[in-house]
Amino acid sequence: MKLRNEYTCPLEMTHDIIRGKWKPIIIWELSKGKKSLSSLKNEIKGISQKMLLQHLQELSDYGVVSKNVYEGYPLKVEYYLTDRGRKIFEVVSIMQGIGIEIMVEDKREDFLKEKGLL
């Protein structure tokens, strides 16, 4: 667990958890179900394996993500959101909703339709 004690307010703590560049999108993907490293890597466009692993490790330190490891070859590992992770997902979900609102207001419906979000 990596959560600090010197937060000024609870807001800061949540912010600390999701601040990394790829963290919200990782949480978004994991909200759909358990995922292997490689499927996350394929689904998150542009992410490097290093950053993916590093962020998964940090999220795990925060108690947001956990994993099941199955021994044998090929290795199989499943990452998933913990209860706390599903709480954090509520924030991520609102971020998505507000992002859509702003894009609509910004006349970017074309983008949203392309993504199947409108």
Partner DNA sequence: CAGCATCCGATCTGATACTG
Partner DNA sequence: CAGTATCAGATCGGATGCTG
Contact between 65 and DNA per CB under 7 A: no
Q: Which partner, a second copy, DNA, none, binds residue 75 by CB below 5 to 8 Å per kind?
A: DNA
**Residue 108: alpha-carbon gap to chain centroid:** 24
Torsion angle, CA of 45/50/52/57, rounded to 10 degrees? 180
Contact between 46 and a second copy per CB under 8 A: yes
Burial of residue 103 (CB within 10 Å: 0-12, 13-18, 19+) is middle
Residues that bind a second copy (CB under 8 A): 3, 7-15, 18-19, 21, 24-25, 28, 45-46, 84, 87-88, 90-92, 94-103, 105-106, 111-112, 115, 117
